[in-house]
Amino acid sequence: MSFDYRVIVASVLLLVGLGLFARTIALRWKVLRAAKPETRWDLVAARVRKLLVVGIAQKKMFKEPASGLLHAFTFWGFSILAVRTLQLFVQAYAPEAALPGVLQAGYDFVKDITEAVVLVAILGFIWRRLVVRPKRIAYSGEALLILGFIAMLMVTDFLYDGLHFGGLAKTDPARLAEVAHAPIGGWLAGLFAAGGAEAKTLLLWAEVNYWIHLIVVLTFLNLLPLSKHFHVITSLPNVFLSRLEPKGALPFVPDIEAKLEAEEPLGIAKSSDLTWKQVLDLYTCTECGRCEVNCPAWQTGKPLNPKMIILDTRDFVYAEAAGKPMAPLAAAGGEDGEGGDLPALIQAVNLDAIWACTTCRSCSEQCPVMIEHIDKIVGIRRHMMMTRNEFPKELGTTLKNLESKSNPWGLASGKRGEWAKDEGIPTLADNPEAEWLFFVGCAGSFDDRAKTISIATARILKQAGVSFAVLGKKEKCCGDPGRRMGHEYLFQDQAKANIETFAELNVKKVFTACPHCYNTIKNEYPQLGGQYEVVHHTQLIAELIKAGKLHFKTDATAQKVVFHDSCYLGRHNDEYDAPRETLKAVPGLELVEMERSRQLGMCCGAGGARMFMEEKIGKRINHLRIEQAMETQPQVVASGCPFCVTMLADGLKDKDLYDAVRTRDIAEIVLDALEAPARPATQDLDPEAAPT
């Protein structure tokens, strides 16, 4: 084959293939450019580390070891083969182009081994899709086509080396040395050279494989942005530009009061309301379904499928960009909405799904390409709540209570500090020298069951000699329920009130027994200028035990305890060890784990303001969680969250297990095991009080 022939054909292929690809990418880029701005170029060193660990090393893929290994080897092999593909294009113009000496030899060896592994991985993927068929993975002819393309790239590369050098070796055996470092290509070359086919025939078939390889590459490249495999291009940028700490903070809306006064639409209602990073998330979804199978709402028969939220939004954005609007998918108004003419993007998703989300973050935790689902869901809630005033009817009462009394139950604010007075705990106004502020939170102040957690925490710290005080009636709701239900203004109003109080009383250090308060004050108050040292009570108690400031009784009672991870302490803040270290320190306690624990732990069903909404669709989430806990046959189900304790207790009660199994906060377990002087004070503390 002549040099001119290759130049002409390769040039035409590149011109057509790259031209079509550039046209498609330009359309995708146009949508990105039209989206709202967002800063994701900061903290470059941290982003590079995340890219290396999550993107290149494929860390999150190994949450499912078997499929993770298959995917990782395919990714690494495809990346290594990219150098070879580039070489083949270059050789159309410079036939002898190669890497310098030893580099080419080393690359040929690694390339052949890797390609062989990739072929095995491809067979594994095909077996998994056609035979094993996991529920989370829908059958896809496109996926099989892509797997076929990747396999063809590997096979044609092997055959090109074997046929090309085998043909050349027919007349010059020394040419085999050029491919000797490629284990499979060299073996094939020797096989073909020793065969009966003529050199001309071998070189002709080598040329056929050469062009098949290049055509498949360009076809594959053009298919990517038109399919779910767009993630092959966008996943590494998406990982690099992903959310860094704090994970638990929702996006901030600046100038919220001015926006409301100007009646400016808020939240997400149309494509242009998405930020460019949110659009990039849509492009990057691999449709793997890991978010789906780990979603507590989906697992209990709710219409929320995190994968479909992303895909429905993506399809809407694509259709709108192409000038072909989609037909409405969702019923106007959703489960309890008032109906009406909903914006097009909201009609493209299932509105019942939007209100079913507990914001547990399991979806994002499992996503291998770092897609954030909650910001989009809460974005739609914000529009429904603040712009349209349409939301589940139960939230109407909750909103009124939060607005008028700054607690979800609408109880008089003066009652916030009553339990503390009974325990002799001063307010910060009375004791301005206190080292710590105990931010009690609404549940710990008003809910009878949660008050026992507040009391237990206070008594433990008293015994350890910790200097602390409360705000009493000056404390407001931290703002978590308002923000998660979509009322950003209410959140900011309550947060600013607390921040002003903190400033007046010179608060520097805060601890709380509520993970929602912990997450909000630690991760979201800084958005409004409130910077504090914030710890959860399980962290503080663990440190006190380590410091030898707490002493346990020697006559311990044996008890088998299973620990339930709170989503807002665990996945939102990566604290899994402190609660377990504390429990392990308690004499006589046997700590057991549910199958779904730590990062895989399942929500109790209370997050995302769901505590104040009715579960009308499917199975109750707390019922499923209790069933998972009961598999360990515990005597106690423990947690570090007042909402979790209540939800789990409700689950036990509904299943007639409440008398046999107890639900307790870690502070209650620790207090019960401590030596005097804590004991005399516990006579009025009833950890078995029925949940309210």
**For 279-291, what is each residue's pLDDT tens digit?**
999 999 988 888 9
**Does any domain span residue 243?**
no
**Does any domain span residue 516?**
yes
- For residues 40 and 109, state if they share a domain: yes
**Does any domain span residue 241?**
no
Query: In this structure, what DSSP letter does residue 495 have?
Result: H
- For residues 190 and 223, state if they share a domain: yes
Q: Quote the pLDDT of residue 688.
A: 54
- For residues 436 and 363, state if they share a domain: no
CATH number for the domain that contains residue 273: 1.10.1060
- For residues 619 and 649, state if they share a domain: yes
Question: Could you tell me the CA-to-CA distances from 305 to 110, 362, 623 in Å, in that order?
Answer: 41, 12, 19
- For residues 526 and 583, state if they share a domain: no
- For residues 170 and 102, state if they share a domain: yes
**671 CB-contact burial (10 Å; exposed 0-12 / middle 13-18 / buried 19+):** buried
What are the φ/ψ torsions at residue 618 (nearest 5 degrees)?
70, -165
Tell me the whole-structure pTM to 2 decimals: 0.87
Domain that holds residue 448: 395-544
Q: Which of 234, 265, 296 is the last residue before a domain boundary?
A: 234
What are the φ/ψ torsions at residue 393 (nearest 5 degrees)?
-60, -30
Q: Quote the pLDDT of residue 582.
A: 94
CATH number for the domain that contains residue 215: 1.20.950
Which SS3 state, helix, strand or coil, does residue 552 take? strand
- For residues 540 and 599, state if they share a domain: no
Q: Quote the pLDDT of residue 691.
A: 40
Q: Which of 376, 392, 408 is the last residue before a domain boundary?
A: 392
Nearest to 269 by CA among 369, 191, 380: 380
- For residues 216 and 87, state if they share a domain: yes
Nearest to 161 by CA among 112, 114, 122: 112
Which SS3 state, helix, strand or coil, does residue 509 take? strand
- For residues 267 and 293, state if they share a domain: yes
- For residues 525 and 567, state if they share a domain: no
Q: Quote the pLDDT of residue 147.
A: 83
Q: Quote the pLDDT of residue 627.
A: 93
Q: How far apart are the first and last CA of the chain?
A: 84
Q: Quote the pLDDT of residue 326.
A: 63
Q: How many domains are contained in the chain?
A: 4
Q: Quote the pLDDT of residue 680.
A: 41
Q: Quote the pLDDT of residue 337.
A: 47
**Does any domain span residue 245?**
no
Residues of the chain falling short of pLDDT 70: 1-3, 132, 136-140, 325-340, 677-692
**Does any domain span residue 489?**
yes
Q: Which of 528, 544, 560 is the last residue before a domain boundary?
A: 544
- Model confidence over 441-485: pLDDT tens digits? 999 999 999 999 999 999 999 999 999 999 999 999 999 999 999
| Encoded amino acid at 612, one letter | F
CATH number for the domain that contains residue 522: 3.40.50.1860
The proportion of the chain whose per-residue pLDDT surpasses 70, expressed as a percent, equals 94
**Does any domain span residue 495?**
yes
Q: Quote the pLDDT of residue 327.
A: 62
**Does any domain span residue 428?**
yes
- For residues 577 and 507, state if they share a domain: no
- For residues 320 and 446, state if they share a domain: no
Helix (H) / strand (E) element for 511: namely strand 509-512
**Does any domain span residue 229?**
yes
